[in-house]
Chains A and B, each alone.
Chain A
Amino acid sequence: MGILLTRDVCKTFGVNKALDSVNIDVPEGSIYGLLGPNGAGKTTLLRIINQILAPDSGEIYFRGSKLKADDIRKIGYLPEERGLYKKMKVGEQAIYLARLKGLSRHDSLRKLKYWFEKFEMQDWWDKKIEELSKGMQQKVQFITTILHDPELLIFDEPFSGFDPINVNVLKKEILELKSKGSTIIFSTHNMISVEELCDFITLINKSRCILNGQTDEIRSSYKTGTFEIQFSGNPDIFTKVLNSNFQLQNIKTNHTLHTATIKIAGISSDNELLNLIIPHIHIVSYREVLPGMNEVFISVVEKAG
């Protein structure tokens, strides 16, 4: 059993069903992606996990026992709608938020010192939030989210609104937190941004889970037999040597190198393809194209009807 488990969680707002029997199982120490378009119910699920909302039915288990009020201390949540008190001083605010999570004043000071030194922001301590740039505010926000060393970190659309430099800082820190043993849940509609980070994913569409599993497995199970060959030589050769088992999708040319994308139809293997073309061109690289989560999502939704 993972660190967090939901069993048949349902939530309805008036006539709108936000969640319909949602089951997720987040393994400890993993990065777990909750993917789906806007309005699929991701934020509602995260709010239920954070006990901001209560489910209409279903259960949530944290470390094997039912989620209780005190578990809040072990969870760090960075909501999609996030911000800080603009008129409050950085240090004061960070201590306030840490103490609301149950840290003592002394502990929060000690931990803040570590993080402020790490991000080289000691001299922001007495500034008001409104005096900081957006990027600086984002760093403060990030620190207040993780300060209480949560066992489970939940980021709702973490990269929206963060600038590219901070996105990289964030990704680096998240990987470091993972290496220290934290479990991380991501939720995003921008699937490309997290697919390389996530070990496990759940696809949510229209308030239902439509796909669960390990990211690599899912991608390979949805692979379409498409290969990418980078080569030098005459690009016309492909139209000549390929038989009907192989479908040339496109050839891009970049200076002296060409990149061809070929889809294998039927029962042929990629070795056959290589045998056919090796005599004619010089291959620089060769790889199988795995589908992105976007494509997986689209094909799952299409299959579901």
Chain B
Amino acid sequence: MNKNKIHFIIKNIKIILNREKPQSMNRNKIALIIQREFRTRIRKKSFIIMSILGPFLFAAMIILPIWFTTMEDKEVKIIAVADSTHIFQNKIPDTKNLKFKYLENADIKYLLKDFQNQGYWGVLYITQVITYVPNAVFLYSYSQPSFGMKIHIESSLEKEIERQKLFAHNIQNLDEILKSIKSNISVRTIKLEEGGKEKENYAEQSMIVGYAAGFLIYFFIFLFGMQVMRGVIEEKSNRIVEVIVSSVKPFELMMGKIIGIAGVALVQFIIWIVLTASLIGVGQKVFFPELGKSPTEKVISEDIMNSGNSAHKEVIHEQIPKDENTIKVEMLFKSISDINYVVILSWFLFYFIGGYLLYASLFAAIGSTVDNEADTQQFMLPVTIPLILAIYVMINTMNNPDSNLSFWFSMIPLTSPIVMMVRIPFFSDGMNWQLIISAVILVLSFIGTTWLAGKIYRTGILMYGKKASYRELWKWIKYKN
């Protein structure tokens, strides 16, 4: 009785195990393929070189331009201030290479025509009472004003307005007052072209991060999509593909390759981010040693050097305007760190993976239809055009994030991973119905594309010698199984 029971249980266990065996085996096979694709690529010299070289390049791209701006600007720029309100007389402090000259009753039309001849670098035009109209300040110049200059003017004006507002209040309930006097002024910098055209500059830092993210997605899709394609072509031209599809399903081989290479891309990405960040950190210390210290630290260190009356000195230091260059570099680093990275990073990962999967399956399908890389061109065009288009629309979106063009291209799955990245900073909390719709479309279309690509792939990998046409691809899609 007891023995029978045990036998019965063992028999059932065996049945269950046997049933599950083929399924788990297949999962193991995909894992094996992923592992091979990942390992062989991670070990490649080109991967290691790219991983090390990339961060140096990126760090240099961020550090050097900032460093150069601190190097240049030795010439002293005189800016004519035409202040129709007459309340900002001598309120913008001069710096080492930035002097402000206040003109009384200047004719702005005449001044704009002639300021260069009068020896001015630019004209700061304050049109009306800016206390309530924050964007009534214009800076006209023939060359691009530096970021630090803009910040210096903005913060000086802001401070002055705050001071005046504070002055008008009684000093009781100071907390509330401080809250109420917070003001925000953005100087619209207008660059004059030779023909008298006016061009406005936007410099939204978070958009620049969005832009960088979009560009990174574009770059990764191309780089690693091409790797998928090359991998497929390699397997086909090595003639190993039929050996492998006699052990696994073609679709499993394709997905294993795509996922394995996605892993490589993510590892590369993480290495880049970590290394770039630490390189920037190091570069910040080397090139801008002043930045690491807080203002009081600076004061204290100078106090110790001067060994004077510290209390008195501190007051003086507070009043001395910071060097223009230090301000602008600090502002740059600050603006970079102000962005909501969690939101952008999560959406970045989503669009990165979604976009990659969508394109990688297309690249795999292309690879399967040809015998060598030279033959890929006829099929590459329809895949690369949307990618390049996406980059153009993304740049356009930076100026006009809510246009119809931007909207539709951030919905079309072939372009949305890139275009949407620059729009995300404009959605208040990183969540928006547009984002959700775009994400759903992307997910649905990569499932569809993978399915279609799998059909082309499984026929294509076994075809040698003849160049496939689009009509043939359509036939392959319609083949049974």
A53 interface residue (CB < 8 Å to B) = yes
Q: Is the CB of B475 within 8 A of A96?
A: no
How far is A145 from B242 in the complex, measured between Cα atoms in Å? 12
Query: Nearest-CB distance from A147 to chain B (Å)?
Result: 12
List the A residue with the shortest CB-CB distance to B481.
A54
How far is A92 from B342 in the complex, measured between Cα atoms in Å? 41
Q: Scan residues 10-65 of chain B and give those whose CB is less than 8 A from a CB of chain A.
A: 21-22, 25-26, 29, 32-33, 36, 40
Q: Which of B32, B239, B250 contacts A99 (CB 8 A)?
A: B32
Query: Nearest-CB distance from B368 to chain A (Å)?
Result: 14
Residue numbers in A under 8 Å from B480 (CB-CB) = 54, 56
List the A residue with the shortest CB-CB distance to B21.
A70
Query: Nearest-CB distance from A56 to chain B (Å)?
Result: 6
A81 interface residue (CB < 8 Å to B) = yes
B479 interface residue (CB < 8 Å to A) = yes
B247 interface residue (CB < 8 Å to A) = yes
Residue numbers in B under 8 Å from A50 (CB-CB) = 246
Q: Scan residues 208-242 of chain B and give those whose CB is less than 8 A from a CB of chain A.
A: 234-235, 238-242
Residue picked from B239, B241, B248, most chain A C-beta under 10 Å: B239
List the B residue with the shortest CB-CB distance to A11.
B480
A52 interface residue (CB < 8 Å to B) = yes
B412 interface residue (CB < 8 Å to A) = no
B76 interface residue (CB < 8 Å to A) = no
Residue numbers in B under 8 Å from A53 (CB-CB) = 481
Q: Which of A77, A84, A141 contacts B246 (CB 8 A)?
A: A77
The range of chain B's interface size is 20 to 34
Query: Nearest-CB distance from B293 to chain A (Å)?
Result: 52
Q: Is the CB of A82 within 8 A of B242?
A: yes
How far is A253 from B292 in the complex, measured between Cα atoms in Å? 103
Interface of A is mostly: loop
Residue numbers in B under 8 Å from A82 (CB-CB) = 239-240, 242-243
Q: Is the CB of B462 within 8 A of A86?
A: no
Residue numbers in A under 8 Å from B343 (CB-CB) = none
Residue numbers in B under 8 Å from A99 (CB-CB) = 32
Q: Is the CB of A83 within 8 A of B240?
A: yes
List the A residue with the shortest CB-CB distance to B18.
A70
Query: Nearest-CB distance from B252 to chain A (Å)?
Result: 10
B244 interface residue (CB < 8 Å to A) = yes
B245 interface residue (CB < 8 Å to A) = yes
Residue numbers in A under 8 Å from B408 (CB-CB) = none
Q: Scan residues 34-88 of chain A and give those whose CB is less than 8 A from a CB of chain B.
A: 47, 50-54, 56, 68-70, 72, 75, 77-79, 81-88
Q: Is the CB of B22 within 8 A of A69?
A: yes
B464 interface residue (CB < 8 Å to A) = yes
| Given known contacts A72-B247, A100-B247, A81 and B464 CB-to-CB distance under 8 angstroms | yes
Q: Is the CB of A87 within 8 A of B247?
A: no
How far is A86 from B234 in the complex, measured between Cα atoms in Å? 9
Q: Is the CB of B22 within 8 A of A97?
A: no
Q: Scan residues 139-176 of chain A and give those whose CB is less than 8 A from a CB of chain B.
A: 141, 144-145
| Given known contacts A56-B480, A88-B40, A100 and B242 CB-to-CB distance under 8 angstroms | no
Q: Which of B235, B243, B481 contacts A144 (CB 8 A)?
A: B243
User: Could you list 16 examples of A-B contacts with CB < 8 Å?
Assistant: A47-B242, A50-B246, A51-B246, A52-B245, A56-B480, A68-B22, A72-B246, A78-B243, A79-B239, A81-B241, A84-B243, A87-B40, A96-B32, A97-B247, A99-B32, A102-B25
User: Could you list which residues of chain B lie within 8 angstroms of chain A, going by C-beta atoms?
Assistant: 21-22, 25-26, 29, 32-33, 36, 40, 234-235, 238-248, 250, 462, 464, 475, 479-481
